[in-house]
Structure 1
Amino acid sequence: MITYHTLTPNSPLWSQATTQIGDIDWPAGPHLAKRMQTPAVWQPFERVIYATTGEQLAGFCALLAEDIVPDTPYSPFVSSVYVAPDYRHQGISLRLVQQAERAAQVTDITGLYIVTRHVGLYEHLNYALVDRREDQFGRLNRVLYKDFT
């Protein structure tokens, strides 16, 4: 059974999540883990959604003020959506995003952006294309938005 944890820097699982997220082979994991090692930079609404089976990482995403597309008027973002290989194709990525949405709504955020090159995945959750922008690596991405109002 997968358990979803909504973490802040003060959460008891923060250190465990930081280590496990930093150990994955996708560069966004170590990048997020490095940011997690500096709790002072976290804004009050920012969170990590950490999915586990027991103590094993099943997936994660983050609710962040900024993502990999620099100099945009957009904020906040669902960022770094990741599902471990053994847990893929079970709808976990969508549940992670839904958990991030709930965390955002609790803090009175009225909509979220997602930067992605995937087509069709987040549209299942009513995200719509609002822009196309290059990320910090020069890759063209789609910027999606979902309004909660």
Structure 2
Amino acid sequence: MITYHLLTPHSPEWSTAATQIGAIDWPAGAHLAKLMQTATWQPWERVIYATNDAKMAGFCALLAEDIVPDTPYTPFVSSVYVNPANRGQGISLRLVQEAEKAAQAADIDGLYIVTRHVGLYEHLDYELVDRRNDRFGRLNRILYKSLNA
């Protein structure tokens, strides 16, 4: 059974989650793990961490900034990842929904997602608002969803 954890730097699972997130074979995992270990987190920022028993099933983060620099956009659902063994179960969409709930609890009116995927987040009513290069020069789509609907 998949369990979803809403983590802050004060959560007991924070260190274990950072280690497991940093160990995946995707550079965004290492980046998020480094943020978890070194950054100062705003009170509303979170890591949504999914487990299947004690194993990481996936994660995402609710962050003030993402991979596209110098934008007027904030906050973001960032670094959505599902372990390959757990894909095809709707975990990525549930992770985003959990981030949305955390944002609403913090009185955040809307969220952005930076992605190169087409069609995934649109299932959750995210809409294209911009296209910008990320810090690696890759063109990304920036999607937005109002949480006031």
TM-score bin, normalised by smaller chain: over 0.9
Distance of 1:27 and 1:57 partners within structure 2: 17
Shift of 1:146: 0.2
Q: Say if 2:99 is the partner of 1:104.
A: no
CA-atom RMSD, angstroms?
A: 0.6
Alignment-derived partner of residue 139 in structure 2: 140
Alignment-derived partner of residue 10 in structure 1: 10
Shift of 1:55: 1.1
Corresponding letter in the other structure for 2:125:
N
Distance of 1:25 and 1:86 partners within structure 2: 13
Deviations 1:28-65 (A, max 9, x none): 001100010025x1011100000001110000000000
Shift of 1:141: 0.3
Alignment-derived partner of residue 75 in structure 1: 74
Shift of 1:106: 0.2
5+ long unaligned stretches in structure 2: none
Alignment-derived partner of residue 43 in structure 1: 42
Distance of 2:133 and 2:100 partners within structure 1: 24
Structure 1 residue matching 2:130: 3-state secondary structure:
strand
Structure 1 segments of 4+ aligned residues over 3 angstroms from their partners: none
Deviations 1:46-97 (A, max 9, x none): 0000000111000000000000000000000000000000001111000000
Deviations 1:76-129 (A, max 9, x none): 000000000000111100000000000000000010000000000000000000
Distance of 1:117 and 1:94 partners within structure 2: 16
Deviations 1:121-149 (A, max 9, x none): 00000000000000000000000000011
Structure 2 residue matching 1:37: 3-state secondary structure:
helix
Distance of 2:13 and 2:51 partners within structure 1: 11
Equivalent pairs counted in the alignment come to 148
Alignment-derived partner of residue 33 in structure 2: 33
Corresponding letter in the other structure for 1:47:
R
Distance of 2:72 and 2:44 partners within structure 1: 18
Q: TM-score, normalised by structure 1?
A: 0.98
Alignment-derived partner of residue 131 in structure 1: 130
5+ long unaligned stretches in structure 1: none
Alignment-derived partner of residue 87 in structure 1: 86
Percent identical among aligned pairs is 77
